Chain A
Amino acid sequence: MESGVVILIGLFFTVAVYLMLSKQLVRILLGIAILGNAVNMLIFTNGRLTREVPPLIPDHLYAPETATANPLPQALVLTAIVISFSFFAFLLVLAFRAYQELGTDEVNEMRIAEPEHDQTPPQGY
């Protein structure tokens, strides 16, 4: 049941990593967005897949009647989706502001924090 989805997840990871290894900020961002989906699906699939039976308890019962989808990874992934989205938005804005301030979208040219020719270390007390 899982194998098809697992291979798809592997593809998601491959594409995400490949994009993140780019020098261009925009491609890195796209990679991160895909990575988020890949990780969410990874967690989801780890809890095994059950077709089409949502983890809901029927109104007249106190426990699910038949085997349902695993509710635990769903709960974990649900919050993860929202968080990864908030951080994707944050990264997006960060990239856009960096592009505005530094005038480049090549990561190797963004060297304000780690200048190319660093000064000698601070001496004295």
Chain B
Amino acid sequence: MTPALIDDTTLYAVLAPFAAAVVAPFLTRWFKHNAAWLLAIVPALIFLHFTGFVEPVSKGESFVAAKAWAPSYGVNFSVYVDGLSTLFALLISGIGTFIILYAGGYLKGHPQQGRFFSFLFMFMGSMLGLVLGNNLISLFIFWELTSITSFLLIGFDHLRAASRRAALQALVVTGGGGLALLAGFILIISATGEIEMSVLLSSPDIIKDTALYVPIFFLVLGGAFTKSAQFPFHFWLPNAMEAPTPVSAYLHSATMVKAGVYLLMRMHPLLGGTELWTTVLPLFGGVTLLVGTILAVRQTDLKLMLAYTTVASLGLLVMLTGTSQEKALEGAVLYLLAHSLFKGALFMVAGTIDHEAGTRDITKLGGLRSAMPITFVAACLAALSMAGLPPFIGFIAKEVLYYGTWGWLELGLPITVTAVVGNALMLVIAAAVAIKPFLGPKVETPKHAHEGPVLLFAGPVFLSVTGLGLALIAHTTGELLIGPTLSSLVGQTTEIELHLWPTSINAPLLLSLVTIGLGIVLFTQIDRLRGLIGSILTAIGWGPDKGFDQFVAGIVGLSWRITRLLQSGKMQTYMILTFIFTGVAVLVPGFLTGSLPAMPKMPDYRFYEWGILLIAFFGLIAVLVANTRLTAIVSLGIQGFAVALIFMMFGAPDLSFTQFMVETLSVVILALVMTRLNLSPSDHRHGLAAIGTGIVAIGVGLGLTLTLLAITQQPFDSRLSDFFAQFSRSIAHGRNIVNVIIVDFRGFDTLGEIAVVVLAGLCVLALIRVRTKPEKPIEKPETVSQPTSAQTGEVR
């Protein structure tokens, strides 16, 4: 079934957020935080656009649209709309709409709000381009764009070092993974000769059959695992909580971190199902799930708890994708949808609590129920979905995924156990996040807590209610959203049936009950659990996060050492090395290839021509041995005028005149400057130093002489010169060929060259005009540091 070609509207939908990013700062300047209402229209319209695809896609259709970008390399800006990309596009634009609103309320009055909106929109556009990307190269470009824009978002509060570190960490980890991904894509392109995802997907075994499958697999995994924060690359995600909450809610619920999962799901028909896939993915996914949940329990900061459960959820998704079992994949898709909704809502709730109560440490929060009733309801709905309780989408997801893992023969048992433990701990966190801040006795908070404005609670309420609503219409959800997505994953049209309530008492239901029971038991022991995990972590003492610091310090130290090695700070060393290499480069090839020139014949110069050469020679020697300024200037002038005479002698009057004028001016400015420079009467070099540098100099001179002799002994190709001579008058109407070349034939060159002359003039002027401190050498900083001179200093 080939994808149908559609018009460019979808392409513009991908580009629309970038346009919004441009106007956002201006709108924010005019309407303050209320600009959010206007700006939210953009993602809302994109959402509407993609809802139009739901119906046809659920019937098994898919679509492509493309614009040529760099056609000679096969690079197009193209989109591929099928079940998977539709689901992601809906999540990105739908949640994005509420994130924009939420950012309007959260950063109300922030002087940089416009910039924030701008980054957010650029991120949204990159994300859309990524999930819709059809061309591998444009997909990669959007992939890297999400890294870059998330760097900007995480480092939004760039005045804090922690924020800068987190941003850099995210960029290094995800950007590094991106390079692996690029390598993987290039291997795919060279192995299959195809660059469009839709073409690749139409023949699923195309990559698995190539010899390059294993490297491709690991390289693509490198990109996906770093982006989706799989152990041991998970550490950047919790650190990224330094970003303002709208960023966390957006990047870590439905978008950025899901990009890796998206890639794995997208590549599943192409790479999945092999033994390698079903071993590596469940292993890493399972470890990430457990590590994520265990670390989450340990936290007391609302956002960090949520961040670690995000790591865990990503682990779960990777694990499920790794099973390559249809039912488990269905569970993965359901969980992906559920997670995006409840995690987005919970992050926003955490941000609202932080915003209104002034803290997000759960040990310092309590009894906010009455102060923030709407937020409380939203938090409860979302947490129930996260805990996997009916009647929420999270529950359905859990049922299906247990069904899938339980039914997997090879590794079903360990995977199921991992999932149960992970889900139980997830339930613990869900309970802690929803219950602890709201229920119980009222605790005094840094700010007097009250319900936030509509901009703040619109998002959490809508997302959590959607989580409930999609579960209530489970049959339709399955038909329209989950089924088509699953079809993309397994590579063929698949129909599924979803039920909110289990139809019979089966293993998954029992597993659910076990999960809930285990979760409740663990929740009652949460404080002891927290202490236990804390002491274990202290005992280990090292983690990838610390490793990142060591890595960065190591890189900086290494580059510093290399720089010190190469840049000794001694100009003479640089110069000698440069000239030694120059000498070797011009001398050695001649000897190696035997292309040395023949012995030159005695040239038939006339008497006065020999005289001119001799003048130049004596001028040179005089410069070499000059011991006063006057002799140096005069002898430099002599060799210069001799050069002018040589030009004259060989039919170059223009050159000759120019050389004369330049030498005259050189002598004038040398005379002006030299009076203030010091010329020590003798060269400092004696003995060995003189001989050593002399040998280098002679080597360079000899090398160039031999090269030039060899060149001049070759027959001359005069086509170019003949062209200029031929057409100088007939086309360019000038009889002085040299001038015609300068101002006409090669005028563009000359334009660049006179620009250089202008620049040189400006530089000289700047050098002469700019004075740091009159008559104060730099080496005396102590006079500045003394307070008395600093006070009197302004009189100067």
Contacts and interface: CB of A to CB of B under 8 A. Distances in A.
Interface of A: 1-15, 17-27, 30, 33-34, 37, 40-42, 44-59, 61-64, 68-72, 74-75, 77-79, 81-83, 85-90, 92-97, 99-103, 105, 107-108, 110-116, 118, 120-125
A42 B704 contact: yes
Given A21-B572, A96-B673, A116-B569, A11 B726 contact: no
B31 interface: no
B640 to A, nearest CB: 6
B643 A37 contact: yes
Given A23-B684, A75-B746, A78-B658, A99 B701 contact: no
Which 6 A-B pairs give the minimum distances between C-beta atoms? Answer: A14-B701, A10-B705, A69-B651, A114-B569, A3-B600, A86-B760
A26 B705 contact: no
Given A53-B651, A56-B736, 7 more contacts: A9-B708, A13-B705, A21-B575, A26-B678, A34-B623, A61-B729, A94-B767
B684 A24 contact: yes
A72 B741 contact: yes
At the interface, is chain B mostly helix, strand, loop or mixed? Answer: helix
Interface of B: 161, 164-165, 168, 553, 556-557, 559-560, 564, 567-572, 575-576, 579, 600-601, 603-605, 610, 613, 616-617, 620-621, 623-624, 626, 632, 636, 639-640, 643, 646-647, 649-655, 658-659, 662, 665-666, 669-670, 673-674, 676-680, 683-685, 693-694, 696-698, 700-702, 704-705, 708-709, 711-712, 716, 718, 720-721, 724-726, 728-730, 735-738, 741-742, 746, 749-750, 753, 756-757, 760-761, 763-764, 767-768, 772, 777-779
A10 to B, nearest CB: 3
A121 B650 contact: no
Contacts of B575: 20-21
B678 to A, nearest CB: 5
A101 B122 CA distance: 48
A57 B724 CA distance: 11
Nearest to B600: A3
Contacts of B711: 46
Nearest to A26: B679
A2 to B, nearest CB: 4
B517 to A, nearest CB: 45
Contact of A112 (B651, B735, B749, B778): B778
At the interface, is chain A mostly helix, strand, loop or mixed? Answer: helix
A21 B691 CA distance: 12
Contacts of B569: 111, 113-116
A48 B652 contact: no
Nearest to B603: A4
Contacts of A120: 560
**Most central of B620, B632, B694, B696 by chain A CB within 10 Å:** B620
A1 B772 contact: no
A22 B623 contact: no
Contacts, number: 290
B760 A81 contact: no
A68 B652 CA distance: 10
Nearest to A6: B708
Contacts of A96: 673, 676-677
B728 A57 contact: yes
B662 A23 contact: no
**Most central of A7, A19, A55 by chain B CB within 10 Å:** A55
Given A10-B702, A24-B684, A63 B725 contact: yes
Contacts of B564: 118
Given A21-B696, A78-B738, A97-B768, A86 B655 contact: no
B161 A99 contact: no
Given A9-B708, A71-B721, A49 B650 contact: yes
Contact of B576 (A21, A44, A108): A21
A88 B666 contact: yes
